[in-house]
């Protein structure tokens, strides 16, 4: 469809005042409202949202909206006061976690949560080095950018952060040890190499940062025991393990805590960090750690720990309402059921569209690898871009991860209607590429 003069003017207005910031699609959408799994543009067109992982409980969920409004009307303030909701929310969030994960620090974003967790780990370990997976993204602060090779690995090596070493991704479809029965041992051995490489540069690891959803890594599924093995190696080197639940958490992967479903033993986790869906779109980030570590940090290098908006009562009310919705609507179970339906539908499409090389994921996180040749498993990078464009022509928003991989992250509230709409659009789009 041609871009209207009005739409062109909106883009120009935006660029004039915000700079040339990233937006979706050559012709960006002008979205004015959203509900459940759908977003609506100014002209009333409905788009099925399979991209947006922030409103995980559904856009503008009425229970969460009401909780925000009620709290904003009653009291909107920070953690300096004895507001019940802040401590109640922290207690509820941690109630089913192992004993050592008993304390919450509230901040405003996933980046801040990871930044603070790294600062604490550095302070307690006395180490400055870090381990992450290739291609990872963990935030936009100065510190978390170092833990986000996605942001710097295209730069010349001289500009890569010296204190960070990347581990190869444990890819069981297209990686060097794919299909090998001993893949967990082979892939995790890269942590030994990485720790040695850090040591040669004079660093010891303070942290291993893991997004167990593997969202920036092509939504791959690592071999069993991989995460535990790399966590053990980090601990043996005196570092801490951060389970970054910004993408994985709150039922996304068919378990409340994503890292647990991904097979990382909670006893091996020193920090959980949360963001994005934790308040369904209201700004909130969380660091969960042990009270003992918290005490050491506050008593040690960092006597004052305070964030003005972190843990404000409205954000906590939103977070609390998210937990209500997950329980009442049985969203963890639903994530498994609907996610399985989605993968089954896609695997059926793979029978007639040879472009689909692999369909993977857990719960409502689906990765699709598109390949030019199934035997060679060569990523179909260009076709991936085309498919995203074809899908939006059919009113479905999807995202990509690494070249050749699609990342599907719908709201957990999807039902059969949404799955059918999605599969139909995918079928039609693949026909156009066929």
Binding site for ligand PMP (CB under 6 A): 109-111, 114, 137-140, 211, 215, 244, 246-247, 275-276
Cα 345 vs. chain centroid, distance in angstroms? Answer: 24
To the nearest whole angstrom, how small is the minimum distance from the Cβ of residue 182 to ligand PMP? 28
- The structure tokens 């660093």 sit at 203
To the nearest whole angstrom, how small is the minimum distance from the Cβ of residue 238 to ligand PMP? 24
Residue, CB closest to ligand PMP:
110
Helix (H) or strand (E) holding 419: helix 416-433
To the nearest whole angstrom, how small is the minimum distance from the Cβ of residue 215 to ligand PMP? 6
Choose between 145 and 429: whose C-beta lies nearer to ligand PMP: 145
Choose between 132 and 380: whose C-beta lies nearer to ligand PMP: 132
Choose between 164 and 246: whose C-beta lies nearer to ligand PMP: 246
Cα 125 vs. chain centroid, distance in angstroms? Answer: 26
To the nearest whole angstrom, how small is the minimum distance from the Cβ of residue 348 to ligand PMP? 30
To the nearest whole angstrom, how small is the minimum distance from the Cβ of residue 371 to ligand PMP? 25
Choose between 139 and 404: whose C-beta lies nearer to ligand PMP: 139
Cα 397 from Cα 49, distance rounded (Å) = 5
To the nearest whole angstrom, how small is the minimum distance from the Cβ of residue 272 to ligand PMP? 12
- The structure tokens 């843990």 sit at 311
The count of other CB atoms within 10 Å of the CB of residue 268 is 18
Q: How far is CA 115 from CA 107, 192, 208, 216, 276, in A?
A: 10, 24, 13, 18, 15
Given a contact cutoff of 8 angstroms between Cβ atoms, the answer to whether 387 and 429 are in contact is: yes
Choose between 11 and 140: whose C-beta lies nearer to ligand PMP: 140
Given a contact cutoff of 8 angstroms between Cβ atoms, the answer to whether 269 and 243 are in contact is: yes
Choose between 50 and 425: whose C-beta lies nearer to ligand PMP: 50
- The structure tokens 């690494």 sit at 402
């Amino acid at each position: 469809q041609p871009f209207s003069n009005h739409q062109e003017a909106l883009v120009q207005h935006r660029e004039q005042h915000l700079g040339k910031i990233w937006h979706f699609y050559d012709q960006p959408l002008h979205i004015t409202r959203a509900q459940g799994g759908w977003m609506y543009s100014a002209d009333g067109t409905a788009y099925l949202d399979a991209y947006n992982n922030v409103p995980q409980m559904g856009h503008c969920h009425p229970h969460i909206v009401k909780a925000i409004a009620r709290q904003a009307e009653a009291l909107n303030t920070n953690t300096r006061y004895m507001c019940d909701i802040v401590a109640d929310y922290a207690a509820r969030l941690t109630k089913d976690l192992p004993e050592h994960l008993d304390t919450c620090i509230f901040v405003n974003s996933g980046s801040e949560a990871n930044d603070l967790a790294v600062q604490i780990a550095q302070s307690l370990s006395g180490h400055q080095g870090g381990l992450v997976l290739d291609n990872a993204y963990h935030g936009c602060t100065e510190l978390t950018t170092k833990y986000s090779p996605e942001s710097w690995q295209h730069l010349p090596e001289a500009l890569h952060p010296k204190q960070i070493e990347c581990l190869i991704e444990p890819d069981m479809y297209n990686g060097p040890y794919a299909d090998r029965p001993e893949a967990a041992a082979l892939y995790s051995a890269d942590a030994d190499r990485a720790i040695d490489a850090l040591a040669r540069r004079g660093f010891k690891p303070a942290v291993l940062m893991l997004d167990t959803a593997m969202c920036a890594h092509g939504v791959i599924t690592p071999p069993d025991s991989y995460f535990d093995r790399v966590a053990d190696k980090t601990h043996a080197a005196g570092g801490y393990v951060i389970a970054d639940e910004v993408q994985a958490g709150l039922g996304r992967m068919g378990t409340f805590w994503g890292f647990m479903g991904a097979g990382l033993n909670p006893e091996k986790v020193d920090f959980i960090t949360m963001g994005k869906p934790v308040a369904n779109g209201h700004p909130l980030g969380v660091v969960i750690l042990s009270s003992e570590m918290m005490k050491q940090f506050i008593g040690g290098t960092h006597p004052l720990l305070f964030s003005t908006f972190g843990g404000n009562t409205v954000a906590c009310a939103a977070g609390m309402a998210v937990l209500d919705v997950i329980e009442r609507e049985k969203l963890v179970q639903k994530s498994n059921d609907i996610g399985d339906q989605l993968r089954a539908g896609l695997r059926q499409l793979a029978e007639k569209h040879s472009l689909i090389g692999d369909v993977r994921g857990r719960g409502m996180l689906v990765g699709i690898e598109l390949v030019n040749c199934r035997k060679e498993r060569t990523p179909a990078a260009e076709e991936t871009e085309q498919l995203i464009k074809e899908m939006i022509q059919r009113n479905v928003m999807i995202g990509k991860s690494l070249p050749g991989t699609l990342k599907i992250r719908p709201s957990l509230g999807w039902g059969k209607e949404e799955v059918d709409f999605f599969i139909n659009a995918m079928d039609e789009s693949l026909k156009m590429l066929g």
